[in-house]
Amino acid sequence: MNNRIVVGAHYGLRDWLAQRITACVMALYAVLFLVEVLLMPEYTALAWRTLFSGGFMKFATFLFWLALFYHAWIGVRDIFMDYIKPVGVRLALHCVVIFLLIGYAGWAAQIIWRL
């Protein structure tokens, strides 16, 4: 009988699945955005503002940014866990990245709903 000692944070399948789901959300948004841009009659500032003035496009854009930030968090966290061995340094870097991503999400919301 093998006595397997499991160490670490036990993320595994949940994070793998989250990365795939966020990637699918970003890919679907990219297709939606491309179709919307190709259907624009002209490429003026007013046309761009009109594109993002609807509630659906604002929501889809914000969902894209949230998916991107969560996708980035999982990737950066895994890189830090693999390559940054001192726990204090790794914790500090995790905190910096978390605060930056939360700030970026707030900034994205401010920009999207300001339009």
Q: For residues 18 and 70, what is the distance between their CA atoms, to the nearest angstrom? A: 8
Q: What is the largest CA-CA distance in the chain?
A: 69
Task: Give 56-111 pLDDT, tens digit per residue.
Answer: 999 999 999 999 999 999 999 999 999 999 999 999 999 999 999 999 999 999 99
Residue type present at position 6: V
The 8-class DSSP code of residue 6 comes to: P
What is the predicted pLDDT for the residue at 115?
Answer: 65
pLDDT tier at 42 (50, 70, 90 boundaries)?
Answer: very high
Residue 89 domain-assigned (yes or no): yes
Domain count, the chain: 1
CATH number for the domain that contains residue 85:
1.20.1300.10
What is the predicted pLDDT for the residue at 90?
Answer: 94
Please compute the mean of the pLDDT values over residues 22-32 and round it to a whole number.
98
Q: For residues 93 and 103, what is the distance between their CA atoms, to the nearest angstrom? A: 15
Residue 85 domain-assigned (yes or no): yes
pTM of the complete model beyond 0.85: no
* Boundaries of domain holding 58: 13-114
Residue 66 domain-assigned (yes or no): yes
Residue 63 domain-assigned (yes or no): yes
**What stretch of H or E contains 1?**
none
**What stretch of H or E contains 66?**
helix 55-83
Residue 77 domain-assigned (yes or no): yes
Residue 91 backbone phi and psi in degrees, to 5: -65, -45
